Amino acid sequence: MSICKLLVSLLLSVCGHALSTSAWSVNNFLMTGPKAYLTYASSVQVGARKGIEECKHQFAWDRWNCPESALQLSTHSGARRGTREAAFVHAISAAGVMHALTKNCSMGELSQCGCDDSNVGKMGGRGWMWGGCSDNVDFGENISKQFVDALENGHDARAAVNLHNNEAGRLAVRATMKRACKCHGVSGSCNMQTCWMQLAEFRDVGNYLKVKHDQAQMLEMDKRRVRAGNSADNRGALADAFSSIARTELIYLEDSPDYCARNLSLGLHGTEGRECLQNSDSLSQWERRSCRRLCHECGLRVEQRRVETSSSCNCKFNWCCTVTCDTCTQVVTKYYCAKRNKGRRSKNGTRRRQHTRKN
Ligand SMILES: *[C@@H]1O[C@H](CO)[C@@H](O)[C@H](O)[C@H]1NC(C)=O
Ligand SMILES: *[C@@H]1O[C@H](CO)[C@@H](O)[C@H](O)[C@H]1NC(C)=O
Ligand SMILES: *[C@@H]1O[C@H](CO)[C@@H](O)[C@H](O)[C@H]1NC(C)=O
Ligand SMILES: *[C@@H]1O[C@H](CO)[C@@H](O)[C@H](O)[C@H]1NC(C)=O
C-alpha cells in the first residue's frame, strides 16, 4: 500500500481534505480491521500523526521535506514510489504508533495491558535489580503490526520492502530504549538500585531513523530471475535479496529524484520558495549548508527578505495577579530560494555591463 493510503487510513484528521475522496479506504479499513483493535484506533492515529510530525522535523532543511500533499497525491496518481524517503515514512509511522501505544499502556490508559513486569524481582547486574514499570513495548509492537502492517496487502517486492521498513521502525523504538534506575539504601547510599526499561523521547527515535535513512540500502534483485516472471523465481529472488539485509536497516527499491524541480503530478513541490538558513552561529553544519543544498545546487539563488515579526516584551507583573506586556516588532532577515534573474545571466552584454556598472 502506498504511503498515502497508509496516511489516509491512519490519520483521518490530518489528511482532512483527502478524506472525502478516500473515505472508502478509511471505512473499509476500520470495518474490516479486527474488531478488538477498534479500541486502539484513536491512539493509533495519535501515533501516526506523531510519526509524520517527526518526519517534518527531521527533514525540515532537506530538499524533500515530508510534504503531506505529496504523500496524498501518490495515491491518486498511482505512483507507488519505493524511494528511501518512502522507507523513512513507513518506518517513522510504524514507530510512532508503537511508541504512542506503549506510552498509553504504561500510563494505565488501556485496560488490556500494563507494565512489562516479566523481570521484576530478578537481579539485573551488580548492585541493581529489575523493578518499577518497564514500558511494555511488546504490546505497542503488537498493535503497530496489527494496524500498520495490515495496510500492506500486496505480495510483490514493494509490499515486502514496506513491511521490512515498518519492522525497522519498530526495532528503532526498541534500540533507543534506555535503562532508568532509582537508588535505595540507608540515607541515599545507593547500594541497591532498582531499574526498568523506558522508551526514549520520540525525537531520539527520529534521529536514529534519520541516520538509517541516510545509510539506506537499495534492494538488489536478481533481474534475470525477476524477468523470468514465474512466481517461484520471483519469490526466490526476493528472499535472496533480503537475506543480506539486517532487519534494522531501511531499504528502498528506486532512486529518488533530486527533489529540486517542481512536478505536481509526481507530488514534488521543488525547492523554489523554500526558506533556508544562514548567518547564524547557532546553526548545525547541516543547517548552515541548507541554502547551498536547497537553492544553489538546484539552480536557484538565495533571496533575502526583511520580515517583521512581533512578540511580547517588557512584561510586567502587576499586583495581583496579572501580567501585562508590550508588543515589540523586530525586523529579521530571512532567506528564501528564488528563481535566478534571467536578465543577469543572459548573454546580452549590454545588460550585464549595465548591471556591473550599477554595482
Ligand atoms: C494515548 O495517548 C495520547 C497522547 O499521547 C492521547 O491523545 C490518547 O487519548 C491516549 N489514548 C488513550 C486510549 O488514552
Ligand atoms: C500479540 O498478539 C498476539 C496475537 O496476534 C497475541 O497472541 C499475543 O499475546 C500478543 N502479545 C502481547 C504482548 O500483547
Ligand atoms: C512530471 O513527471 C512526469 C513523469 O516523469 C513527466 O512526464 C512530466 O513531463 C513532468 N512534468 C513536468 C512539468 O516536468
Ligand atoms: C539585449 O540588449 C539589446 C540592446 O540593448 C536589447 O534591445 C535587448 O532587449 C536585450 N535582450 C535581452 C534578452 O535582454
- Could you tell me if 109 and 207 lie in one domain? yes
Same domain, residue pair 240 and 207: yes
Number of domains in the chain: 2
Is residue 169 domain-shared with residue 285, that is, in the same domain? no
Please give the Cα distance from 50 to 2 (Å, whole number): 19
Ligand 2, atom 11, lies closest to the CA of 139
Q: Is 348 in the pocket of ligand 4 (CB under 6 A)?
A: yes
Q: How far is CA 108 from the centre of its chain?
A: 27
Confirm whether 163 is domain-assigned.
yes
The 10s digit of each residue's pLDDT in 70-108 is 454 334 333 457 889 999 999 999 999 999 999 999 888
CA separation for the pair 311, 56 (Å, rounded): 25
Kindly state if the Cβ of 342 falls inside 6 Å of ligand 4: no
Mean pLDDT of 331-358: 64
**Is there a single domain that holds both residue 304 and residue 333?**
yes
Percentage of the chain with pLDDT > 90?
Answer: 46
Asked, for residue 122, whether it belongs to a domain, the answer is no
96 plus 34 within the same structural domain? yes
pLDDT exceeds cutoff 80 at 258: yes
Closest approach atom of ligand 2 to CA 146: 5
As a whole number of angstroms, the distance between CA 321 and CA 142 comes to 50
Which residue minimizes the CA distance to atom 5 of ligand 1? 100
**Residue bearing cell 545588460:** 351
Grade residue 351 by pLDDT with cuts at 50, 70 and 90: very low
Report pLDDT for 42: 84
Does residue 266 have its Cβ closer than 6 Å to ligand 3? yes
| Structural domain contains residue 129 | no
> Is the CB of 350 inside a 6 Å radius of any atom of ligand 4?
yes
Q: Which of 346, 350, 353 to mutate to test the pocket of ligand 4 (most atoms within 8 A of CB)?
A: 350
Is residue 142's pLDDT more than 80? yes
Could you tell me if residue 125 is inside a domain?
A: no
Last residue of a domain, one of 266, 298, 319: 266
Q: Which pLDDT score, from 0 to 100, does residue 316 have?
A: 92
Does residue 124 fall inside a structural domain?
A: no
Probe ligand 3: pick from 263, 266, 269, max atoms within 8 Å of CB? 263
Q: Are residue 230 and residue 291 in the same domain, yes or no? A: no
Higher pLDDT, 188 or 26: 188
| Residue-level pLDDT at 13 | 36
pLDDT of residue 23 exceeding 90? no
Find the ligand nearest to 40 CA: 1
In a domain, 181, yes or no: no
Is 306 found in the same domain as 219? Answer: no
C-alpha to C-alpha distance for 251 and 84, rounded to whole angstroms: 7
Considering 229, 244, 266, which residue would you say is the last residue of a domain? 266
Q: Does residue 190 lie within any of the structural domains?
A: no
Domain that holds residue 296: 275-358
Q: Is the CB of 341 under 6 A from ligand 4?
A: no
Does position 62 have pLDDT exceeding 70, yes or no? yes
The mean pLDDT value for 36-59 works out to 86
Q: Does residue 303 or residue 154 have the better pLDDT?
A: 303
pLDDT per position as a tens digit, 26-43: 333 443 455 555 678 888
Average pLDDT of the chain is 81
What residues flank ligand 2, with Cβ below 6 Å? 138-139, 142
pTM of the model: 0.79
The 3 state secondary structure assigned to 62-113 is: CCCCCCHHHHHHHHHCCCCCCCHHHHHHHHHHHHHHHHHHHHHHHCCCCCCC
Backbone angles phi, psi at 274, to 5 degrees: -75, 145
Q: Are residues 82 and 212 in the same domain?
A: yes
Are 288 and 147 found together in one domain?
Answer: no
Domain of residue 303, CATH code: 3.30.2460.20
Co-location of 227 and 303 in the same domain: no
Span 262-277, pLDDT tens digits = 988 877 889 999 999 9
Classify residue 182: in a domain, yes or no. Answer: no
Same domain, 215 and 333: no
Q: Tell me which of 133-137, 165-169, 229-233, 287-291 is least confident.
A: 229-233
Distance 263 CA to ligand 3 centre (A): 6
Distance 343 CA to ligand 4 centre (A): 9
Specify the pLDDT at position 358: 39
The crossing angle, in degrees rounded to 10, of helices 137-148 and 3-10 is 110
Are 69 and 170 part of one and the same domain?
Answer: yes
